[in-house]
Amino acid sequence: MDQSLLQQATAYLPAQILYATAELGIADVLAEGPLSAAEVAARAGADTAAVLRLLRALVGLGVVAQADADTFALTETGAQLRADVPDSIRDTILLCTMPALWHAWGELATAVRTGKPVRDRDTGYTAFETTARHAELSRLYRTAKARASLEFTASAVKVYDFSAFGVVADLGGDCGTFLAAILASAPETRGIVYDLPQAHEQTAETLREAGVADRCEIAGGDAAVAVETGADAYVLNHVLRDMDDDHAVALLRNCRAAMGREARLIVVETVMPVVLSAEDSPAYGMTDLNNLVYAGGRERTAEEYRALLRAAGFAVMSTTNAASTEGLPDYQLIECAPDD
């Protein structure tokens, strides 16, 4: 019997083991050196017997190594779960396995029946809305998105020349990572990060660390309501995937209303192949369904993006591929101009 489907059906086990490990800060505790289960439990504020069982499970996942009956040490793989290392994936783990998203995926069949995102029975919010209303979850979202896109960001500024624009506005710019890379690659260009106020502190820190804060303005606002005028290029980086078609077109029309005739809109998204094969990354379909249950958004084909843009008054001028994280689909930078 082929066990692969059964293994996939039980993938919730390692996912939640990693969530508990990240939430309890186990990797940070073990960063001190090999410890007993009792010592880990005391530092993590958890039950000793249960921590021992968790540590044994982590041995099987390669996160910790067991030296003797009651001594455990963090492995190189497990060190990625520490909060204080440059390549930390702790925030990403916490975001991907957070209870709101876990609940949403538990209702996938309902979402497929209705074509609508999953809403919490008590609050009525989608997981996306829950994240936006929770300060710590919002921080996790911004940090995880920035870290997940590091390879793409480095690739994008190599393959696309942003120096042609005097002012670049990143709409929904999260913590400013993408715009910081753009400004670093284009020393004469100035920038605007346009996002909700709760992102501003993290954005300011990112821009300072990148050495571009003196060339960048942080503006408060919601592009879904209105977009500021005055930029030569407007960037939507992984924004449209979180929206259904109606909301996406409304946002694009706001962009069009703010833009001069010579301005450009740059949409950054993964583009879904019309025909998928077993050789394609499984992330295409999984991410598409995640967008459905999480926010009611979707991945789109090239023609579907063109249709959205046409409906909002744009013409596609060019598309440029940029590499993503290994094993994930590449992204496209879709350059658009007002279509009068």
Q: What is the mean pLDDT of residues 331-339?
A: 95
pLDDT at residue 214 in the model: 97
SS3 89: coil
pLDDT at residue 47 in the model: 98
CATH number (3.30.230.10, 1.20.1440.230, 1.10.8.60, 1.10.10.10) of 4-83 reads: 1.10.10.10
pLDDT at residue 17 in the model: 98
328 pLDDT exceeds 90?
no
Domain edges within the chain: 4-83, 94-142, 148-338
208 pLDDT exceeds 80?
yes
Percentage of the residues of the chain whose pLDDT score is greater than 70: 99
Alpha-helical segments (H) within the chain: 4-9, 12-24, 26-30, 37-44, 48-60, 90-96, 99-106, 108-114, 127-133, 135-148, 150-159, 177-185, 200-210, 245-258, 283-295, 302-311
Residues 6 or more apart whose CB falls under 8 angstroms from that of 161 comprise 186
pLDDT at residue 221 in the model: 84
- The single-letter code of the amino acid at 212 is V
Q: What is the pLDDT of residues 89-125, one digit of tens each?
A: 999 999 999 999 999 999 999 999 999 999 999 999 9
Measured distance CA(307)–CA(316) in Å, rounded: 10
Measured distance CA(23)–CA(287) in Å, rounded: 24
pLDDT at residue 222 in the model: 87
Confidence of residue 151 (pLDDT cuts 50, 70, 90): confident
Confidence of residue 327 (pLDDT cuts 50, 70, 90): low
Q: What is the mean pLDDT of residues 295-302?
A: 96
**Residue at token pair 């400004």:** 183
37 or 143, which is more confident?
Answer: 37
Q: Lowest mean pLDDT: which of 44-53, 67-76, 139-148? A: 139-148
Q: Would you say the pTM of this structure is higher than 0.85?
A: yes
Q: Which helix (H) or strand (E) covers residue 321, if one does?
A: strand 314-322
Q: What is the pLDDT of residues 21-69, one digit of tens each?
A: 999 999 999 999 999 999 999 999 999 999 999 999 999 999 999 999 9
Mean pLDDT of the chain: 93
| CATH superfamily, with its number, for domain 148-338 | Vaccinia Virus protein VP39 (3.40.50.150)
